[in-house]
Amino acid sequence: MTGLPPALSLYRLASGLAAPLAPALLSSRAAKGKEDESRIGERLGHASLPRPDGSLVWIHGASVGESRVALTLAAALIEARPGLNVLLTSGTITSAALVGREAPPGVIHQYVPADTPKAARRFAAHWKPDVAAFVESELWPNLIVETARSGARLALVNARMNAASLRRWQRWQRSGKALVSLFDWISPADGRTARGLGHLLGRALPVAGNLKLEILPPMPSNDKLDAARTIVNGRSIWVAASTHAGEEEIVLDAHQHLLARHRDALLILVPRHPDRADAIAALLDQRQLEFARRSLREAPRQDVPVWLADTLGEMALWFELAPAALIAGSLKPGIGGHNPIEATRLGCAAISGPWRDSFSDIYDAYEAHGAVTTVQDAGGLAEAVRRNWAGEGEGVAAGQTALEALTGNVLETTTRRLLSLLDTPSEAR
């Protein structure tokens, strides 16, 4: 590896100087429920498990969405190469819980280390990955540099970067090029990312396609689905999926519009981060809206208008129950939206706000096929839900058509390329 650009070297110096603050910061986050206190050592690069013998592929997915891609990819790699060791890392408690529940045999989970030179070096020295695959938009300079220096082959898988991230790297073009050039293979999920990273590298990058489109959602058991259907008992239902702070107010305004005409209306409110449930409960109390809380195993009576679904791993259940869902993260700028694919796969019509930059290619296809209703405010949201209840909204069939136009054999291609990297090890850089 040649010398790094000054800006990247300065980042490494500054993050190294700040490293002594990391334990206190992580402890503070643990006290707020944002870190697993028993595994803070992993965040400092201290492994809690031994490295298994043999080849090892490391896949990093920051949070739940990326971790689900990582799990699918891990299963495909192990199926194609039985006995292969796969290390999955993630950065959130919710993603760790997902991996713990769904990881196939042969998969190890660790928390990703903080992006300081020593923590990254310690991590790479212990695990000695033969191939390291970073899922979507994770470009942590120290982790990438130290992994490359360890001799691992690097892949940026299902690369998806929003416009702001790409602009930031364009401003630091030399550093961005130096960092991205360390990847032996890059698979852009969309055209924007392909163009942005291609501009950094000075060469064209083909769009590989989005792995998330090929991932089947985890299905609820028949018993769980039957129990939920008994609870809702034919009511007019809609879902607000993966809401963020500032969006619940809009959602509740829309629901109160609906309640004025549909007294049996039930909103299933699913926050993106369940640890915000207390704040949402306070908002519901303030509005004098009675609610049942899923995490407390409460079920809504027929006259209770809101079911606060503050649990993890049940989104498929809610999409199965409801005919329409707001795909949130899109009602306020700065979040970037969330993926509508799971709703479509489960027969639930998609409604979205206008702010969905992170999934622009998918929504462009949805718009082209009339598969999404885009709303601007609470009134529009209420009307979109009402139209779907009446069978007048953008149909599920249109969503399936859009999905067919978007999908390919991305998982097979990605699996083959990673195994090819595994079979052609590089010299330490």
Contact 24, 35 (CB under 8 A): no
Is 66 catalytic? The answer is yes
233 Rama sector, left if φ>0, alpha if ψ -120 to 50, beta otherwise: left
Question: How far apart are the C-alpha atoms of 135 and 187, rounded to whole Å?
Answer: 10
Compute and round to an integer the Cα radius of gyration of the chain: 22
What order do you get walking across the sheet with 324-327 strand by strand? 291-293, 306-308, 266-271, 237-243, 324-327, 349-352, 372-374
| 3-state secondary structure at position 284 | helix
Contact 386, 239 (CB under 8 A): no
Contact 54, 127 (CB under 8 A): no
Could you tell me which of 321, 273, 269 has the C-alpha nearest to residue 291?
Answer: 269
Burial environment of residue 394 by CB neighbours within 10 A (0 to 12, 13 to 18, 19 or more): buried
What order do you get walking across the sheet with 131-135 strand by strand? 107-111, 85-90, 56-60, 131-135, 153-159, 185-188
- Planar angle of CA 152, 158, 159, nearest 5 degrees: 85
Q: How many CA atoms lie within 13 A of 71 on its CB side?
A: 24
Dump the DSSP string for 156-197. Answer: EEEE---HHHHHHHHHTHHHHHHHHTT-SEEEESSHHHHHHH
Question: How far apart are the C-alpha atoms of 77 and 194, rounded to whole Å?
Answer: 25
Backbone dihedral angles phi then psi of residue 77, each to the nearest 5 degrees? -65, -45
Question: How far apart are the C-alpha atoms of 73 and 4, rounded to whole Å?
Answer: 31
Given 66, 138, 214, 248, which residue is catalytic? 66
Catalytic positions are: 66
